Amino acid sequence: MSEQSSVPAAAPRFSPRVLVPLALFSLYIVWGSTYLAIRIGLESFPPFTMAALRFLITGAVLYAFLRWRGVNNPTLLQWRNCAVTGTLLLGFGNGLVCWAQQSVSSGLAAVAVASMPLFAAVFGTFFGQWPRRLELIGLLVGFAGVILLNLGGDLAGSRLGALALLAAAASWAFGSLWSKRQDMPEPMMNTAAQMLTGGAALTVLALLNGQGIPAEPSLRAGLALAYLAVFGSIIGFSAYLYLLRTVRPALATSYAYVNPPVAVLFGALLAGERVHALDIVGMAVILGGVAIITLARDKS
């Protein structure tokens, strides 16, 4: 019996050694592409309405599926914690990104949101979690790459939009750190509950701004919304919540440094945005920062 229990056949496929790289790849590539998808969706949908539809629909479908599979319903305390986190991450974090992209390019949006790991490092000190020296070096190198990327191209936008993006990054960072210390449901139910509560917060923001559902959205915008719902929400957000529970915050939030070059490349390939030489240098520096953060995790 001891031999049978010590060698489960499927365990290696689901170990963190396999799941962590897959989750990081999902965040790096999928979330990097969502900035362009948001830009396309805004052709027909108002920003808060688009975000609300994205999370309410996917949250409801995922919640119904999990309950059908017998997953326990969150407790009242867990619903409260999910509501706070969902409002911070999805209501303000994602909602403000969608709002800002009305006046800010998708590449600049990704660049501004890349400040999130720095906010996470600052907020982490409030909870007694100081970044290691190597992690701090990686954060600073990554931020230097973000500055280079911003200087290298045509990533220009409104000042108000840029401020909204920084507020979104700060809200996402604080919500991520706060949620790690709370009683939350199991991972997939956590995803569903946060999408439902975050979608409710976005609905309130949409109503307060007089935003409704468009009568005849374009097929292109509808497909972008579907991509955001399936890949950006269910796959990407689930991967992010898994990483928050599994690895240190510096690695879990390192996607914010990879998303800018990915967003710029998608914009160049699919939307005709130009890529300059300094853009390439900035992307290389960003990836170097992520490599340093990863090395810091491996040595922990």
Closest of 78, 100, 42 to residue 197, by C-alpha: 78
Q: What pLDDT is stored for residue 297 in this prediction?
A: 60
Domains of the chain, by residue range, sit at 19-298
- CA–CA separation, 27 vs 232, rounded Å? 9
Cα separation, 235 vs 26, in Å, equals: 7
Return d(Cα 61, Cα 143) in angstroms, integer.
Answer: 37
Residue with tokens 């000190």: 125
The pLDDT assigned to 283 comes to: 76
Predicted pLDDT of residue 291: 80
Whole-number pLDDT of residue 273: 67
Query: What is the rounded average pLDDT for all residues in the chain?
Result: 85
Parts of the chain with a pLDDT under 70: 1-14, 149-150, 152-158, 273-275, 297-300
Cα–Cα distance between 120 and 105 in angstroms, integer?
24
- pLDDT, position 4: 45
